[in-house]
Amino acid sequence: MTIDYLHLLHQTLFGALAASGFGILFNFGWRELLWCAGSGAVALTTRTLAQDAGWSLEAASFVAAATVGSSGRLLRSHLGMASNALAVCGCIPMVPGSFATHAIFGLFALTAPSAQNATLMMTTTVEMLRVAFTIGAIGAGLSMTTHILRTRDF
Amino acid sequence: MPELGDVTAPPRAKQAESKQDKTKSSLERAFMDSAERFLLKHQELEQIALATLQVARLLMVSGARAEVVHEGSAMVALGLGAEHAELRSGYASLAITVGAGINTITRMAGVGPLGVNHRLDQAVRGLARRVQKNGLTPAAVVAELASLERNTPKHPPWLVATAVGVACAAFGRLFGVDWQAFLPVIVAVAGGQAIRHGLLQRGANVFVTSAIVAFLSSCFCGLTAKWSGSATIDSAMVASVLLLVPGVPALNSQSDIMEGHPTLGTARAVSVVMILMFIAIGVLNARAVLGIGP
C-alpha cells in the first residue's frame, strides 16, 4: 500500500472544512463545530486510506462511517448527547451527491434521440448502483455502531 | 273526606318510595361522580396527548430519526402522567394514543416541512429528559416548547450562506474540482442558499425551490468557472448544487427502516429521490442554456 500523504492531507482538510460548513447549515453550536470538523477529517482520512489500500468506494465509506460512529460513542463523555449527530455531520461529505446527479443526467441522456444506449445504460446503471451502495454503506456503518455500542442516554 | 284524585299513599309505601329515591339518587350521584372523573381524566389525557404531539413534531422538524421521536414522546407522555403511550409517525402527520386505567385518547397533528436544526433538537431532548425526571404539567411543556421554537439561537443567514458556499467548494475539491472553480462555487452556492432561504421563508414548495436554485446556482457557477479558466466546469456545476442534496434525510431513511419504521423511512427515501430529480432538472436546464453536454 502506497500512501500519497499530500493527497491524504488534502482530503482530510477539505473533509473537515465541508463537515464544519454543513454543521453551520444544520445549526450546530460554535463549540460543536470543531467536533464536526474533526468528525469530517476522521471520515475522509479513513476513507482515503482504505481506498489507497485498494478498497472500493463502498467498502471504504462503510469503514469510515463505522470509525466516525464508534469514535463518537467512545468520546461521548466529552461530546455530550450529540455524538450521533456529529457522526452524521462528519459523514455528509462522503454522501455521493456528485455520482447521484451524474446518474440522473445519465437517465435523462438515455432518452436523447442520438443516445449511445448500450454504453450509456451501463455507465448510468453503474453510477446508480454506486450511489445506492455508498449511501447504504454509510448508513449501515453509522447504524451498526449506534446499535452495537448502544447506551441508555436519550 | 278525601277528594277524587287526592291519592295519599299509605305510610309504609311512602317509606319504601323514599328509600328507593335515596338509593336512586346515591346511584345517580355515584354515576355523575364517575362520569365527572372520567371526563376530567379524559381532559387531562387530551392535554398530555397534545403536549406530547408538540414534542414529537418539533423533534421531527429538527431532523430526528423516528426512533428518537418515539422515545422522546414516550418519555414526555409517561412523565406527564399517562400510563401508556403509542405514537404513529408518518412523513406529514403524527398520531398518538395515550391512556391511563381504562381511559384512552387518540389525537393527531400535522408535522410541517422537515429540516435539520441540531440545537433545537438537543433543546427538545433536554426538555423530554426533564419531563421524565421532574414531571412538568402539559401547559408548562407547551409553553416551553413555544419558547424553544422562538428563542433557540440560529446562525445568521449571511453566515449560513457563506459557510455552505465554502462547504460545497471543499466538497467539490474532494471529487476533483480545480482551484480556478473554487471561488465561483463559493459565490454560486452562497447566492443559491440566499435564494433558497428567501423562497422557503415565503412558503415555496421545497421541490420547486430545489429546481430553481439548482438552475440559478449551476448557471452562475458554469459561467464564472468558464470565465476563470477552469477545466472542470461540469464538476463545478455539480458542486454548486450539493447544498440541495438531502444527506441527513437519506441517512435517516435507512435508519428508520432498520429500526422498524419502514413507512416513514420509505417516505423519506422517496422524497430524497424526488429532490435529486428536481436538482437534476435544474442543472440539466443550466447545461442546455450554457451549451454543455446533452
Tell me which of B155, B193, B275, B277 to substitute to probe the interface with A (most A C-beta atoms closer than 10 Å).
B155
Residue B7 predicted with pLDDT over 50: no
CB contacts of B151 in chain A (<8 Å) are: none
CB atoms within 10 A of CB B289: 13
B254-290 pLDDT, tens digit per residue, is 889 988 999 999 999 999 999 989 998 999 899 999 9
CB atoms within 10 A of CB B281: 17
Q: How far apart are CA A108 and CA A106, in angstroms?
A: 5
pLDDT for residue B5: 44
User: Residue A80, by phi and psi: left (phi above 0), alpha (psi -120 to 50) or beta?
Assistant: left
pLDDT for residue B135: 81
Average model confidence (pLDDT) across chain B: 89
CB contacts of A26 in chain B (<8 Å) are: 63, 116-118, 248
Cell numbers placing A11: 482530503
Strands B93-100 and B103-110: antiparallel
Kindly give, in sequence order, each residue whose CB lies less than 8 Å from that of residue A28, ignoring residues fewer than 6 positions away: A36, A82, A85, A86, A89, B118, B119
User: Residue B8, by phi and psi: left (phi above 0), alpha (psi -120 to 50) or beta?
Assistant: beta
Beta-carbon separation of B164 and A100 below 8 A: no
Closest Cα in chain A to B155: A27
Q: How far apart are CA B170 and CA B181, in angstroms?
A: 11
B45-87 pLDDT, tens digit per residue, is 999 999 999 999 999 999 999 999 999 999 999 999 999 999 9
Asked whether the beta carbons of B98 and B76 are under 8 A apart, the reply is no
Q: How far apart are CA B120 and CA A79, in angstroms?
A: 17
pLDDT for residue B82: 92
pLDDT for residue B74: 95
Beta-carbon separation of A32 and B118 below 8 A: yes
Instruction: Please tell me whether residue B260 adopts helix, strand or coil conformation.
Output: coil
Q: How far apart are CA B110 and CA B108, in angstroms?
A: 7
Residue B159 predicted with pLDDT over 60: yes
Beta-carbon separation of B116 and A102 below 8 A: no
Cell numbers placing B168: 460545497
CB contacts of B155 in chain A (<8 Å) are: 24, 27
For the sheet containing B103-110, what is the strand order? B84-89, B93-100, B103-110
Beta-carbon separation of B167 and A135 below 8 A: no
Mean pLDDT within B4-30: 63
Angle at the Cα of A14 (from B118 to A133), degrees rounded to 5? Answer: 75
Tell me which of B75, B114, B118 to substitute to probe the interface with A (most A C-beta atoms closer than 10 Å).
B118
pLDDT for residue A3: 81
A9-20 pLDDT, tens digit per residue, is 999 999 999 999
Q: Which of the residues in chain A have pLDDT under 70?
A: 80-82, 114-116, 152
> Exposed (0-12), middle (13-18) or buried (19+): which is B291, by Cβ within 10 Å?
exposed
Q: How far apart are CA A8 and CA A50, in angstroms?
A: 11
Domain boundaries, chain B: 11-151, 157-290
Beta-carbon separation of B280 and A108 below 8 A: yes
CB contacts of A100 in chain B (<8 Å) are: 245, 276
Beta-carbon separation of B283 and A10 below 8 A: no
Instruction: Please tell me whether residue B85 adopts helix, strand or coil conformation.
Output: strand
Beta-carbon separation of B164 and A22 below 8 A: yes
Q: How far apart are CA A34 and CA A24, in angstroms?
A: 11
The three-state DSSP-derived secondary structure of B159-178 is HHHHHHHHHHHHHHHHCCCC
The amino acid that residue A129 corresponds to is: L
Query: 422537515: which residue's cell?
Result: B114
A64, A107, A103: which is closest to A87 by C-alpha? A64
Mean pLDDT within B199-227: 95
CB contacts of B293 in chain A (<8 Å) are: 105, 109
Buried b (16+ CB within 10 A) or exposed e, A67-105: bbbbbbbeebeebeebbbbbbbbbbbbbbbbbbbbbbbb
Q: Is the pTM of this model over 0.80?
A: yes
Closest Cα in chain A to B71: A154
Asked whether the beta carbons of B236 and B187 are under 8 A apart, the reply is no
Tell me which of B152, B158, B171, B241 to substitute to probe the interface with A (most A C-beta atoms closer than 10 Å).
B171
Chain A nearest CA to B254, separation (Å): 6
Beta-carbon separation of A101 and B276 below 8 A: yes
Chain A nearest CA to B25, separation (Å): 52
Mean pLDDT within B205-221: 96
